[in-house]
Each structure stands twice: as C-alpha cells, then as structure tokens.
Amino acid sequence: MAFPLLPLLAPSSIASTPDLSIVGYTLIGPLLNSEDVAITQKYISKNFGLVEFSVQVTSDIEIDDIIALLDAGVDTVFPETGEQATALLEIGVPGSRVVFPGEDYDDVNGVYVSSTAAKTELATKLSKSVLPDGTGNKKLYVTFTSPPTLEQVKQTVALPAIPIIPAESLTTDSASSAGKLSVASIFSSALNTDRSDGYFSTLVVDTQGVALGLVYSSEESIAAAIKSRAGVYQSRKRGLWFKGATSGAVQTLVRLELDCDGDCIKFVVQQAGKGFCHLDTTTCFGKSGGVMALERTLASRLKNSPAGSYTRRLFSDEKLLSAKIMEEAEELTTAKTKGEVAWEFADLLYFGMTKAVQAGVSWTDVERNLDSKAKKITRRRGDAKQKWIDAATKTEEAPEKPTGRIQLTRVDVSEISASELTDLLRRPAQKNANIMNLVGPIVEAVRTRGDAALLEFTAKFEKAKLDSPVLKAPFSPELMELDQETKDAIDLSFENVRKFHAGQLESAPLVVETVPGVVCSRFSRPIESVGLYVPGGTAVLPSTALMLGVPALVAGCKNIVVASPPRSDGTLTPEVVYVAHKVGAAAIVLAGGAQAVAAMAYGTESVPKVNKILGPGNQFVTAAKMLVQNDTSALVSIDMPAGPSEVLVVADKKANPAFVASDLLSQAEHGVDSQVILIGVDLNEVELQAIEDEVHEQAMRLPRVDIVRGAIAHSRTFQVKTVEEAIALSNKYAPEHLILQLENASKYVDLVQHAGSVFVGAWSPESCGDYSSGTNHTLPTYGYATVYSGVNTHSFMKHLTSQELTPEGLKKIGGAVVRLATVEGLDAHGNAVRVRLEHLAKEQ
C-alpha cells in the first residue's frame, strides 16, 4: 500500500512547499496555463524516479502541453473536458494514463470518483470527492477543501481511501501545528500492531527492492526518520537508533510505504558505507550480488584502488575504457547462445558501470532514466545511425575467404650471404613481446587468491563457469564415454608409448669402482608429484595427455595431476579424461594457460602442488612455466620450453611430392604461429613446383586451411645442392621435428646434431610420432633442441649418486683430498679425512 496521503501541489506554491518525495506519489494541479505547465515539468524532472505524478489540467491547457507532461514522466492526467481526453486517446496515449471525465466526475473538486456509491458515501461522511490512482484499480482518493484534522484523516485512511491534502498544509515536523498536518502523524495514524511493545515491524530495502534487514519502528522513530530523511528506527533495547551514527554506514530515506493491512512498514533507503548489517555485509541475509554489488565495488575502487590494478587503469585511461565499451558492445552483437549473450552483456555492463561510477552516475540514476523513457508517449523511430547500420551489415556478411596460393617462400642458399641465411632461419617473432607483463599478474593472482582467481580466469578465457576447478579420481565413467574405435586407438598408442618409455628405464644402478676400495654409483628415483599440461586452445590434444602421462606412470610418479582447459560448458574432452584415468592421475585441473601452470606450481585450496610441470603449450603457458621455475618459493621445475610446433623436411629428387607436402601441412595446421621448413636437395624447377602444387592443393582441402595459410606465410623452402649441406642447415635451425625424405635416409642420421625427434625415410610420417609409434611428441621448439631433450622417462625421474669407501680406498685417495682442502683453505674438509687416517694408523 502506498503512503496514506496524496499531497496536492499547486504550481504556484511549489517553491515554498516542503520536500514530500518520501510519500512517493504527488498530485499536481490544477494547471491553468502554459506557465504552470513549465513549472510542473521542471519540478517533475527534478524529482523523477523518487515520486510518481498525476496532473490535473484545465480546459485551457493545449494537447501538446499535455503530451509534453506525459513525456516528462507524468503517470496520469485528469483533463477537465471529455474533448481533451478523447483527443489524447486518439493520438495514442494509453487509456490507463488518461482519466476520462464521466458521470462520476466531480465538477466541484475537479477530480474523479471510483463510483457514484463511493462518491455519495464519502460526500456524506466527509463532504469530499474521490479519484482513482490511474492504474484501473479503483482506490479512493479524498480531497479536502481545507486542511482536515488528523481525526478526519484517520477516518479516511480506515475506509480505505487516501486523503488529498494541499501540500502547503503539510509539515515534515514530527507533530501537527498551526493548521499544518504532520506527514509523520498521518503515516502513523494508518498503522496498527499486535506487538505488546507497540512497535511496528519494519522491512528495510534498497532502491532495487533488495531486502537489507528487518527492524522496528515507533511513532517517534518514524517522525525522526521523516524529519531527518534518514534511516532512524526503534531499538528494542536502546531507544531511538540512528542507523550509521557510529559506523558511518548511514542511510538516506527515499520512500516510506506500508503493507496491505498496515502492520508492516517498508523503508526504501540508499545505503552508504559497508552495508546494513553489523557484520559489515550489505544485507542481514549476507552479501548481495548483481548490479548493485558491482556498483559498490567500483565505487570503492574509484576511491582507493591499488596502483597497477586493472580498474585503476580503466578509471585513468579514457581511451582504454572507450575501447573496452566498444569491444564488448560488438561482442554482444555477435553473441548467439543464451550463455554467450549473458556473458557479453555482463561484460558490457561492467565497463559501462565503470564509466557511470567515474562520472558520479548511480545505478538508481540509470533506472530513473529507463523509467522516464518508458513513460514517453512520443517515441523516436529508433533507426540506428548510418555508421552503425553499415557496421552491423558488415558483421552479418560472411568474411571473405582468402583464395590466394598457399606457398612457402623460396630461398636459394647459394645466392645469399651467411648473415642473410641466419636471419632467414629465425623463428617468427612471438606476438607478445611483453608476454611476462601479461602472464605475471595471472600467476600472482592464482598464487595469492588460489581457487577464486583460477575460476575467474577460467570464466574469462574459457568462458566456462565452474563450481570447482578440479575433478578428483576416480573419474566418473560418464566423463569418459568413447566409441570403441577411439578407445582401441588410444589403447594401441598407450601400449607403444609405454613400451618405448619402459625401455628407457635403467635396469640397475650404475656402479663404477674408480680405484680399488672406492665404489661410486648412480641410481634413479621418480619425482613424486608431477603436473602435466595438456593444451586445449586451438585443438584439444588427448595425445599429449598420453605422451606425458605414460612416462610418468612408467617412471613411478606417485601423484599425477593433469591440467587442461575445459570447454565453455565446463566439461573436458572425454579422451583426455580416459587417458588420465589410464595413467592413474589423481586429479584433473579444469584450467588452461598461465593460470593452470600457477595453480600446479603453488597449489590452491583444491589443486595439489606439484614438484615438476611438464607439457607443451602456447606462449602464455611457456612463459608461466619459465616464471614459476625462477621463483624459488615455488620450488618447482619444468621440462623445457615446448612452444608452437615446427617441422623441417629434407627432400631429395626421389621424394614423393605428396608425402613431402602432407608432412609440412601436418605441423602447419597446429597454429598460425607454427613454422614449417622444406630443404630441397638439388631439386629442379619441375620438382620444386610439384611439391608446391601439392602444398596448395592439399591445404585448400583442409578444414583448418586458414590456420595453415597463417603458418605458411612465415615458412620457407631452402634450395641446397647436397644432403650434407641440407643437414648442416637443419642443425643450425635445430627443428622440433626433422623428416628425412631421402634415398637411404638412415645413412644420414649420424650427421644430425640438433633435432627434437628424427623421422627417417618416406614411410615415417611425423604424425606417427605425434600419436602411436612410441616416441614422445613433447619436444623442444624454437631452437632449444640444441640444448634440451624431448620429454622421456627420465624427465620424470631424478638421479642420486652414492659412494662407499673401504679403509684401503680412503688411504688411496685421502692424500689428494687433504691436499686439495688445504689449497682451498678448508681445514675441516681435510680433517674429516685426517682423523680417519690417524685412526687407521693407530690400529696398525
């Protein structure tokens, strides 16, 4: 129920009347001329959103002025004549906003009554008139010709009917005086309670209607609240309670309402500070989320956001904020699924809200603006500006597919200088020179905020909303349902990789007796806990789970943790789960990129910390691995930098052009940052052309042709004269994969110094090594094959050495130890031998 009072505001006295916006509804009028209309419009624009308005207009008011009033936010107009009302309806003003003068129109008071019977009843009782609330629900509004007494008001409220009282006859003081009626007294007169202490239950809500808490009011506290326009309540133990007087979490009273039977009050407030609850939460029911929570967070960030924080950057970099708003708006236009639309709209709200908070505009202001637009009668056609029509039409059109020839750039090595050759052998520059600046904050966030940050990054990059970032073994069978053919393929590959990696285990410790009585040995132990990163950005790679998981299993690692980015629905590809299950993984971290690496390096509430992180990935993954490895507090090691895939094919005249092309393309399809190199040995124009034709034709048939086109754009064919020259060039490049498509290829393997893995002869395509032959496909890229091995069983182990000396052995080397200790000035070292030798001498 609304406030039990409807103030009647005369345009002539608007300036001198008290602020009555807490009652939530005002009747203005009657408007006699265009000056009254202008004053009213100004008043409405000032108070819109806080107050709803009805306006009485006399026959002298033009229809255009009435429309202007409706556009300004007037809910209902009460025209004096039927002609005015008809004209408004004909223009299209909804019937609910025009009160048509009819038989129950009260000519004397210029107001509408709900029914003749009601009019008669009221007229008899109070000599007054009634009007409806404009919504079609007939509520009785009673006008008084002169200020009524409180007793009269009480009687009216009890009908129930709402008295219309001239605003100048009202006061926001706590008591009525000198012909002025107290608003607080009128409100209290409509209340009742069955509580023994006489207090009234009071629900406190914010302007969005979110319940902040339940308190109590008394007539005294209500009067104090109205007088001070603040949250003032009645404490059951401590008397009047001025909310926020000590904590600073004060409230501005926006509106007062009471419930249908008058025994519960609603305080609509704007809450400042930490919130309503004494526990420093926004509400007594815990935190409230949504738009208001976002607004509060941004407002507090505006006051004191940490230097370097993203929000601070947004507040201080106008161009960045504008770009983000445009980016998110564009992404919203292309969002298709429900999830995508919600996601993009939320992003747009976030950046839009940042702009609003910075400009001092509150969400309540935004809602008031929305409501005012909803009230407009004259609407714009709503056409977009031409610039945006063009942009939207463009997005809908399918982007033009490039059709040009896909071809590696030819380089004749005999025609260039050594330094030019060195330049041409360089890998394409990584896109993000400042990659550490991007990855550092991600790693730091996960290190300090654990699961919460991990989930946020997964939501951001994978667009997946997860409750928990981890799947713990045993994994549910539904998560790894596969067709038999796929299962068989994984099982066969698993077995071959297992055999090759088991073959790498040392059958016994290495034992060497360096001199009689001095036995040195070396033996291995598995690394206890390992984290395996399985990429999932441009393609999901269950084979990488095999290449990492199988050697970990073979080596005997106790705790295997797999990490891989989930799909946007939060699930993981079932093949990865199946492999994780086969290798006995204890957990799968549903995260990718730098955040997954950080979670495994430092551990979170739910991700177990590991001792070593292995696996390939894009530049974010690789950079994060390097970063955590350098942080001594993480105490974690990594396998190697395994970045974008690459292959170098050496082909002679006998090589099958289709085979050569297929090998080049198999790695080019990994990503636009992949690089493929062909070294042609003494190939003539026809032979070269045959390979190039195959590259183009096969590439154009591939579903990932766009990626291939990107990779081939920075790939090259080098022309050389001999195989030796070709392999020397390959050693200089140190490819991840080297394929020898040569006659008698095996003859040349001895010349190979630097390569992650070598594929010998026409029948050894690189993809066999990627999946099923047995060798590992996690290999060093970017030239690191000069110093690193690919992943192997020993990557999951460490070696310990031991020694055992007999007295004879000690006697044989003791002199050398003592002498060297003396040279280094480390007497204690020498003493450790000396005391023993002296002991032996005494025994003899």
Ligand X SMILES: N[C@H](CO)Cc1c[nH]c[nH+]1
> Residue 348 in contact with residue 330, Cβ under 8 Å?
no
- Token pair 């290798």 in the structure block, residue: 583
The β-bridge relationship of strands 239-242 and 737-741 is unpaired
> Residue 255 in contact with residue 229, Cβ under 8 Å?
no
- Residue facing Zn ion at closest CB distance: 770
> Residue 720 in contact with residue 680, Cβ under 8 Å?
yes
Q: Would you say 153 or 779 has its CB closer to ligand NAD? A: 779
Q: Give the single-character DSSP code of 527.
A: -
Computed on alpha carbons and rounded to an integer, the radius of gyration of the chain in Å comes to 41
Q: Which amino acid is at 73?
A: G
Q: What CA–CA distance (Å, rounded) separates 166 from 228?
A: 22
Per-residue binding letters, 315-344, with ligand NAD (x by CB under 6 A):
------------------------------
Q: What CA–CA distance (Å, rounded) separates 87 from 567?
A: 59
Of 522, 584, 523, 575, which Cα lies nearest the Cα of 551? 584
> Residue 691 in contact with residue 719, Cβ under 8 Å?
no
Q: Find the shortest distance in angstroms from Cβ 488 to Zn ion.
A: 21
Assess 730 for contact with ligand X (CB under 6 A): no
Alpha helices per DSSP H over 503-556: 542-555
Residue from 65, 206, 652, 736 in contact with ligand X (CB under 6 A): 736
Structure tokens at 838: 């002296």
663 binds, among ligand NAD, ligand X, Zn ion, none (CB under 5 to 8 A by kind): none
Per-residue binding letters, 618-657, with ligand X (x by CB under 6 A):
---------------------------x------------
Count residues binding ligand NAD (CB under 6 A).
31
Q: Would you say 667 or 792 has its CB closer to ligand X? A: 667
Structure tokens at 716: 């090259």
3-state DSSP assignment of residue 792: coil
> Residue 460 in contact with residue 553, Cβ under 8 Å?
no
> Residue 783 in contact with residue 789, Cβ under 8 Å?
no
Q: Find the shortest distance in angstroms from Cβ 490 to Zn ion.
A: 16
Q: Would you say 203 or 438 has its CB closer to ligand NAD? A: 438
Assess 469 for contact with ligand NAD (CB under 6 A): no
- Token pair 């292309």 in the structure block, residue: 334
Q: Find the shortest distance in angstroms from Cβ 615 to ligand NAD.
A: 8
Residue from 74, 85, 580, 642 in contact with ligand NAD (CB under 6 A): 642
Residue from 110, 593, 680, 830 in contact with ligand NAD (CB under 6 A): 593
Helix, strand and coil in the chain, % to nearest 5: 45, 20, 35
The β-bridge relationship of strands 518-526 and 797-805 is antiparallel
User: Looking only at residues 506 through 565 of this chain, which bind ligand NAD when binding is defined by CB under 6 A?
Assistant: 535-539, 541, 544, 565
Contact segment (CB under 6 A) with ligand X among 96-104, 142-150, 222-230, 540-548 equals: 540-548
The enclosing H or E element of 291 equals helix 290-304
751 binds, among ligand X, ligand NAD, Zn ion, none (CB under 5 to 8 A by kind): none
671 binds, among ligand NAD, Zn ion, ligand X, none (CB under 5 to 8 A by kind): ligand NAD
438 binds, among ligand X, ligand NAD, Zn ion, none (CB under 5 to 8 A by kind): ligand NAD
- Point out the residues that are catalytic: 736-737
565 binds, among ligand X, Zn ion, ligand NAD, none (CB under 5 to 8 A by kind): ligand NAD
Q: Would you say 36 or 673 has its CB closer to ligand NAD? A: 673
User: Looking only at residues 223 through 282 of this chain, which bind ligand NAD when binding is defined by CB under 6 A?
Assistant: none
Q: What CA–CA distance (Å, rounded) separates 558 from 715?
A: 42
Contact segment (CB under 6 A) with ligand NAD among 76-84, 158-166, 402-410, 776-784 equals: 776-784
User: Looking only at residues 759 through 798 of this chain, which bind Zn ion when binding is defined by CB under 5 A?
Assistant: 770
User: Looking only at residues 24 through 53 of this chain, which bind ligand X when binding is defined by CB under 6 A?
Assistant: none
Beta-bridge partner residues of 6: 164
Q: Find the shortest distance in angstroms from Cβ 683 to ligand NAD.
A: 28
Q: What CA–CA distance (Å, rounded) separates 629 from 648?
A: 30
Q: Would you say 72 or 594 has its CB closer to ligand NAD? A: 594
DSSP string, 345-397: HHHHHHHHHHHHHHTT--HHHHHHHHHHHHT-SS----PPPHHHHHHHHHHHS
Q: Find the shortest distance in angstroms from Cβ 459 to ligand X.
A: 27
Assess 543 for contact with ligand X (CB under 6 A): yes
User: Looking only at residues 545 through 564 of this chain, which bind ligand X when binding is defined by CB under 6 A?
Assistant: none
Return the HEC string of 226-284. Answer: HHHCECEEEECCCEEEECCCCCCCCEEEEEEEECCCCCEEEEEEEECCCCCCCCCCCEC
3-state DSSP assignment of residue 796: helix
543 binds, among ligand NAD, ligand X, Zn ion, none (CB under 5 to 8 A by kind): ligand X
Assess 777 for contact with ligand X (CB under 6 A): yes
Q: Would you say 24 or 542 has its CB closer to ligand NAD? A: 542
Residue 187: CB atoms within 10 A of its CB come to 25
Alpha helices per DSSP H over 747-806: 766-771
Q: Find the shortest distance in angstroms from Cβ 651 to ligand X.
A: 19
| CA contacts within 13 A on the Cβ side of 173 | 10
- Residue facing ligand X at closest CB distance: 645
Residue from 132, 148, 163, 671 in contact with ligand NAD (CB under 6 A): 671
Assess 663 for contact with Zn ion (CB under 5 A): no
Q: Would you say 164 or 660 has its CB closer to Zn ion? A: 660
Q: Find the shortest distance in angstroms from Cβ 643 to ligand NAD.
A: 6
Residues found near ligand X in the complex (CB under 6 A): 541, 543-544, 645, 667, 736, 770, 777
Residues found near ligand NAD in the complex (CB under 6 A): 438, 461-462, 535-539, 541, 544, 565, 592-594, 616-618, 620-621, 642, 644-645, 670-671, 673-674, 736, 777-779, 781
